[in-house]
Amino acid sequence: MRRGLNRFLRSVRRHGLAIALFAALPVAMTYPLVTVIDRAIPGPPWDNLGWLYDVWYLRQAMMGKAALLFNPNIFYPFGYNLTLSETMIANKALLAPLLLVFTPTVAYNVFVLLTFFLTSVATYALVLYLTRSRAAGVFAAVAFTYAPYRIGAMAAGWLPLIATQWLPLLFLFLERWLRGRRARDAVLAGCFLALNALSSWYYAYIVGISAALYLLWRLWPWKATFARRQTWLHLAAMAAVTAVLVLPAALPALTSAQSGLAWSLGDVEKWSASLEDFFYPNIYHPLWGRWFLERRAEVPAYPWYAPGFVFVGFVPLVLAWLAWRRRSGRFVSGLALIAGVAFVMALGTTLHVGGARLYVPVPDGVDRLFARAMHFLTERLALNPVSYYSLHRPGAIPIPLPALLVYLFLPFGSAMRTLYRFGLITTFGVTVLGGVGLASVLRRGRIGRLAVAGALTALVLFEFLVVPLPFGFSDTTPGPLEDYLATLPADAVLMRFPLVAAWNGDALYRSSLHGRRIAYGHGTFYPPEYTAYGDVLDRFPSPECISLLQAWGVTHVLVGERSYDAGWGDVRGQTWATVEESILRDGRLREVAVVEESPKWLGESVSGWLRGNLAVNPILQDRVHVYELAPR
């Protein structure tokens, strides 16, 4: 007992300052989040509020008010199988105790702050093990935790992606097993691989591929290594633990994917990193962020999508280069390998530069030959067939990248829409190698080692600074529209148009505030039986669409006047005037209220930096016309 206490006290003395720093930095580096922790969450009102709804729904399930895996109150009358969205099981395990104490908004924000702390501690533990240098561990922890990949995930509200604490722990126990060949380390590596997968299905693919590649590299020479029975037993134990933990959640999702749920090549292309994104300075920085964002401010889909979201940092990059030059162990080349492979994968299925697909001019006829070859590859040979048509341009050819083969030929490869997320591994590899490089510098220095380490750590914090958060916050309190909808009969069923105003996280979350069933929703994939009616829904207010809503039991229809006038209509050329005229002509919708929405995006400055029109503008305060629909 006393021996254990003494060990604990020694550990506190050795690592207490680092842990205290890791606890303080999340509050400082996300300011002013702590000042609005009970009434707003980071980022524009879109996907972040969808995940907040997920947190709210988990609380309802914990209280016995909702089924854990099926939600009948959204996408009415079909309901929603929750396995169609990201797993989040590992995150929910951390969120559940928070929800016993806090509201969903506070629990969401505390969880975000907790991931910063846990990621720092886990990265510190890994680099400390690799280098035996606490200063190097602190540097790598800070660099990885506050890298733009994680800040971008917070800005977009992608709650599954911000849970990166399991990644360093996986590689810690992989390395411990590689060095000591202890079965316990193999089992723990399997556990942490499972926790990565159960945070996000993207990480099941991304981290799984990276871990396998790292192991193969580190186990060389294979002939001697795999001749040992112990190697096979430990790897089997690692795989078995992962499978036991992941498969119960994965099998329903895999079944859904087999139903034909996949992203088009155009969708995947849209979410690829450009070549320069890894080196494009922090666009949220309070000093130079606006200048760099305005140099290249394409916004293809969402207002928080901006260049440099996978920027690895110049300070970590230089130190990683030093680690590479002074290779002190095979783990250095292993980390460099997975960082490099992930870099290529994050570039997507074809090469992009400056936010646009790069085309190479070719002589007449060459483009047609190339197109025929690509058609044969993508439509005839592929496991996941897709049309090449969206990439074809007369007189020029794109530059295909290895990710195209993953999309076409790996099982469920076409279910990964956002390939830039491979940048997580590049960021991880570079920042950990940066810590290794710093350790080598400190070992060779004779004076001022602590000052050098402190200065470089402060420099990387400055390089990644985003205070005050320029992407602002989403208000999570009820507004005038939610207050009005809460007065409707308890059995009311709502539909909203245009569809872009309905099929998003904001509209989904607002349903938790007014408590009425909705014939729309949001998730990674939508129910196939619901999307089968997409070509009818996107013709509102056609007679066929209104008849469908009657058949579904919809009682009230919400129509956004300013959304139509902003050009968001589902039919080309729609304006509020044309929509209102069609509604009046049909006669089955009776207006019962007109409600002005309150502002939802608070304290932001990013929108003023962007060129052109936002494809979806969360600043817009709509004027919502509420119609009662006559029963069938």
pLDDT at 356: 85
Tally of domains within the chain: 1
Question: What's the domain range around 617?
Answer: 473-629
pLDDT at 301: 44
pLDDT at 303: 45
Return contacts of 325-331, CB within 8 angstroms, 24+ apart: 326/437, 326/440, 328/436, 328/440, 329/130, 330/217, 330/218, 330/220, 331/130, 331/175, 331/178, 331/218
**Rounded distance between C-alpha atoms, residue 569 and residue 501, angstroms:** 10
Note the maximum CA span of the chain: 85
pLDDT at 234: 98
Report yes or no on 606 lying in a domain: yes
Report yes or no on 93 lying in a domain: no
Q: Residues 253, 257, 261, 263: what is their CA dihedral angle, to the nearest 10 degrees?
A: 90
Report yes or no on 390 lying in a domain: no
3-class secondary structure per residue, 301-318 = CCCCCCCCCCCCCHHHHH
Which tokens sit at 425? 């591994």
The answer to whether the CB of 37 falls within 8 A of the CB of 611 is: no
**Rounded distance between C-alpha atoms, residue 145 and residue 127, angstroms:** 13
Report yes or no on 158 lying in a domain: no
Report yes or no on 496 lying in a domain: yes
pTM above 0.75, yes or no: yes
Those residues of the chain that have pLDDT short of 70 are: 1-6, 8-9, 256-261, 296-308, 446-447, 609-619
Which tokens sit at 125? 């533990």
Q: Is 518 helix (H, G, I), strand (E, B) or coil?
A: strand
- Give the bridge partners for 356, in sequence order: 353
Q: Is 67 helix (H, G, I), strand (E, B) or coil?
A: coil
